[in-house]
Amino acid sequence: MITSTETGDSIWQYDVPLRNYTSFRTGGVAEIFAEPRSISELKKVLQFCKREQKKIFVLGNGSNVLVNDNGVQGVVVYMGGAHFKQIKRNGMFICSGAGTSLSELMRKAATWGLGGLGALVGIPGTVGGAVVMNAGGKYGNVSDSIASVTTMTFNGEIKTHNRKDIDFWYRGCGLQKQIVIEVTFLLKGAEKEKVFGEMDKIFQEKKESQPLATLNAGCIFKNTQGFKAAELIDRANLKGMKVGGAAVSSIHANFIVNAENATSCDILGLIKVIKNTVKKKYNVTLETELQIW
Ligand SMILES: Cc1cc2nc3c(=O)[nH]c(=O)nc-3n(C[C@H](O)[C@H](O)[C@H](O)COP(=O)(O)OP(=O)(O)OC[C@H]3O[C@@H](n4cnc5c(N)ncnc54)[C@H](O)[C@@H]3O)c2cc1C
């Protein structure tokens, strides 16, 4: 067992139900669930994983993760500790811990009269999860406003990467086998009211086009080969299609919702039905944006 240097408490727990940590509210338990509260605790956890050859799963807000019903074997490193939620301003730069929610980041930035994060409105993730997924949409991606990213490699080494040295692509980036711990954003000066106004406008737009009152994980599939996944699924008449308690949203065809106590197996079954149908009808192979554990 690893204990905190600060408090003497255990940093982790066994058999923690991950359904409480994912937006789908499905899935099994984590063999080990670690919540480091500092950089040194994070390092200890990673050293343990290396020594014991444990697989590492990094968890932000769980809004893009589907956990297998049988759970995960290994260590889930949850970035919810207070140290990883700090936000500091330095002129046009904001330095944020990886565990900060995007909504808190945007709220703080707007309060300071800093804009340029509109692309992240309505995305219920953390800063770390957003960087790894290069989260965004039609207003841009998180990578547009990043100045640098600090990570801890799975070997416990801390590295700061300048934006120009990081490969970002559509819903992904090249920061593999490392944990994002801190991100520096370069933002634009703007009137506070204007920034809040723009954020409200984008949020209203999302509210009308997404099933926000349901349990879901955002878009399941990536757009591909010049096709919008939602349009293909809609044209294939799959809106409302169900497997067990999982259903294709009637509001947005690229969302699957946990409608009635769905299991992860139901969601995976529905993903398979959608992929097979779209392949058969349009000869397009859909790839999941959702991270499946
Ligand atoms: C209602 C709704 C709307 C959404 N809208 C959008 C949208 O418009 N655009 C969009 O891109 N996405 C959207 N999403 C998906 C999701 O919110 C984003 O992908 C978000 O960035 C995930 O962040 P998270 O903290 O929840 O990451 P998680 O779901 O916890 O993790 C996602 C991936 O990132 C990795 N990860 C998380 N934190 C770290 C870290 N600190 N270091 C290293 N790896 C890490 C995980 O291992 C996993 O592979 C939406 C989801 C929902 C539920």
Same domain, 49 and 148: no
2 lies in some domain:
no
Count: domains in the chain: 3
Confidence (pLDDT) at 11:
82
Same domain, 176 and 257: no
Cα separation, 181 vs 258, whole angstroms = 31
pLDDT digits (tens, 9 = 90+) for 200-230: 999 999 999 999 999 999 999 999 999 999 9
- Which range marks the domain in which residue 152 is found? 84-194
57 lies in some domain:
yes
Same domain, 36 and 69: yes
Looking at the predicted structure, is the pLDDT value of residue 8 above 70? no
Residue in the structure block whose two tokens are 């050859």: 53
Residue 40's pLDDT band (boundaries 50, 70, 90)? very high
Residue 7's pLDDT band (boundaries 50, 70, 90)? low
pLDDT digits (tens, 9 = 90+) for 174-198: 998 999 999 999 999 999 999 999 9
Mean of all residue pLDDT scores within the chain: 95
Instruction: Tell me the residue length of the chain.
Output: 293
Looking at the predicted structure, is the pLDDT value of residue 1 above 70? no
Out of 133, 202, 209, mutate this one to test ligand 1's pocket (max ligand atoms within 8 Å of CB): namely 133
Q: What's the token pair of residue 62?
A: 């769980």
Out of 18, 96, 123, 139, mutate this one to test ligand 1's pocket (max ligand atoms within 8 Å of CB): namely 123
Residue 4's pLDDT band (boundaries 50, 70, 90)? low
The closest-lying atom of ligand 1 relative to the alpha carbon of residue 59 is 30
Q: How far is CA 268 from CA 100, 271, 291, in A?
A: 29, 5, 12
228 lies in some domain:
yes
Residue 114 sits at φ, ψ, to 5 deg, of -120, 125
Asked if 194 and 105 touch (Cβ cutoff 8 Å), the reply is no
Looking at the predicted structure, is the pLDDT value of residue 64 above 60? yes
6 lies in some domain:
no
Task: List the one residue out of 175, 185, 155, 158 whose CA is nearest residue 39.
Answer: 158
pLDDT digits (tens, 9 = 90+) for 114-169: 999 999 999 999 999 999 999 999 999 999 999 999 999 999 999 999 999 999 99
Same domain, 118 and 179: yes
Work out the percent of the chain whose per-residue pLDDT is above 70: 97
